[in-house]
Structure 1
Amino acid sequence: MPTPDRTSLAEIVAAGRDLLEVGGPSRVTMQAVSERVGVRAPSLYKRVRDRDALILLLAEATADELGARLEASDGTLAGLARAYRAFAHERPEAFRLLFTVSGAAEPLARVSAPVLRAARDLVGEARALDAARLLTAWATGHISMELAGAFRLGGDIDEAFEFGIQRIAAGLRT
């Protein structure tokens, strides 16, 4: 008779995401996750091949959450950028993880759909990808610097972010 399942993949991923936010990727170990879900580490391997697979699952869950938030925004470039920034502030380690995990291209492609739609509305089909990349690159750079505490010259970072959104949107409209 097989033993009953004592944890689920969803619980494992949730535990991994919690650990990620507490201490970054180095805190996400099979041992730490197993302790968090209340099983022995070997039991995790019934659900997750290894730590690399676990990290990829965390990136996929992060992309799904971010994608849902972007879809729930007002659909404008400004609304998308604000939702993107809010997500990064709430889940900074997960935000960073999205751009460092190899194999996360497909989840990131899902996240791009609302950005591509908004860009297409502004510039048309032919340049939508270029416009989406411009906004994403600018917002990711701004947010990454913000999270790292790299803006040290004073001024209001929120106002700077809004200024950037307005300037990019205005430039794309022309």
Structure 2
Amino acid sequence: MPTPERTSREAILAVGREILEADGLAGLTMQAVASRVGVKAPSLYKRIRNRDELVRLIAEATITDLGAHLRLAAAEPADAAARVAALAVAFRAFAHRFPAGFHLIFAPGPAGRRPAHDTIVASSAPILEAAGALAGPAHALDAARTVTAWANGFISMELAGAFNLGGDVDEAFSFGIRTLTSALETRAEA
């Protein structure tokens, strides 16, 4: 087995994210991570203080990863409405790729598991900028919250299999984006 010096925090977090996606939050234990990185569980405590810190660091890594995906999505379209739409699509794609991580970053939890404020702010920058360009600087935060809350709700329902009335879920998502961007543009003009 590798010595603790050969086990990096990055490797621990990467394995932790894999376990989270495969086994859910309940399966994310210090023992499971230690086994996968090839050390005994006590060795992890030289890199990670406890399970709450592990969960917090995984949430932060997930938010950082999401922020990078959003920055890439926002780089393409020049039009503000198209940028907001691209961000919503990227947000949804990320949630489908990492559903457990997606749920983790939006789930309530004890203070020791909450991501650092700076991490959240950095990852939110693309949607704040696009929403501000669409709805106007005075409404940037409100518009970003509206888009994020709608997308989170829609995606959470979708991932839970809650859309049982038929119809095309992809079209419903597109309809929601068009409706939101249109409403936000109208707000900017008011």
Q: Same fold (TM over 0.5)?
A: yes
In 2, Cα distance between the equivalents of 1:4 and 1:114? 37
Cα distance in structure 2, aligned partners of 1:105 and 1:145? 27
Q: Are the aligned partners of 1:24 and 1:93 in contact in 2 as well (CA < 8 Å)?
A: yes
Helix, strand or coil at the partner of 1:5: helix
The 8 Å contact of residues 13 and 54 in structure 2, kept in 1 or not, is answered as yes
Matched, 1:30 2:30: yes
Q: Following the alignment from structure 2 to structure 1, what is the Cα–Cα distance between the partners of residues 177 and 71?
A: 18
- Ranges in structure 1 where 5+ consecutive residues have no aligned partner: none
User: What CA distance in whole angstroms lies between the structure 2 residues aligned with 1:111 and 1:135?
Assistant: 15
Displaced runs of 4+ in structure 1, greater than 6 A?
none
Q: 1:125 offset after TM fit, Å?
A: 1.1
Q: Out of 73, 80, 91, which is 1:84 matched to?
A: 91
Q: Hey, what does 2:79 align to over in structure 1?
A: none
Q: CA deviation at 1:94?
A: 0.2
TM-score (norm. length: structure 2) = 0.87
Contact 2:4-2:39 at 8 Å conserved across structures: no
For residue 143 of structure 2, what is the aligned residue in structure 1? 131
Shift of 1:4: 6.5
Contact 2:66/2:94 (<8 A) preserved: yes
Q: Give the conservation status (yes or no) of the 8 Å contact 1:16–1:58.
A: yes
Runs (5+) with no aligned partner, structure 2:
76-82
Structure 1 residue aligned with 2:41: 41
Structure-2 change in CA distance of 1:4 and 1:115 (3 Å): closer
The partner residue of 1:94 within 91, 101, 112 is 101
* Cα distance in structure 1, aligned partners of 2:126 and 2:74: 10
- Structure 1 Cα separation of the partners of residues 176 and 59 of structure 2: 27
- Aligned-residue RMSD, C-alpha: 1.2
CA deviation vs aligned residue, 1:87-126 (integer Å, no higher than 9, x gap): 0000000000001244225222222110000011011111
Question: Normalized against structure 1, the TM-score is what?
Answer: 0.95
Which residue number corresponds to residue 58 of structure 1?
Answer: 58
Percent identity, please.
Answer: 56
| Cα deviation digits, residues 9-52 of structure 1 (max 9, x gap) | 00000010000000111111000000000000000000000000
Separation in 2 of the partners of 1:85 and 1:15?
23
CA contact (8 A) 1:15 1:36 kept: yes
Q: Residue 109 in 1 paired to residue 116 in 2? A: no
Answer yes or no: is the 8 Å Cα contact 1:6–1:39 preserved in 2: no
Q: Which residue matches 1:19?
A: 19
Q: Which of 147, 160, 172 is the matching residue for 2:172?
A: 160
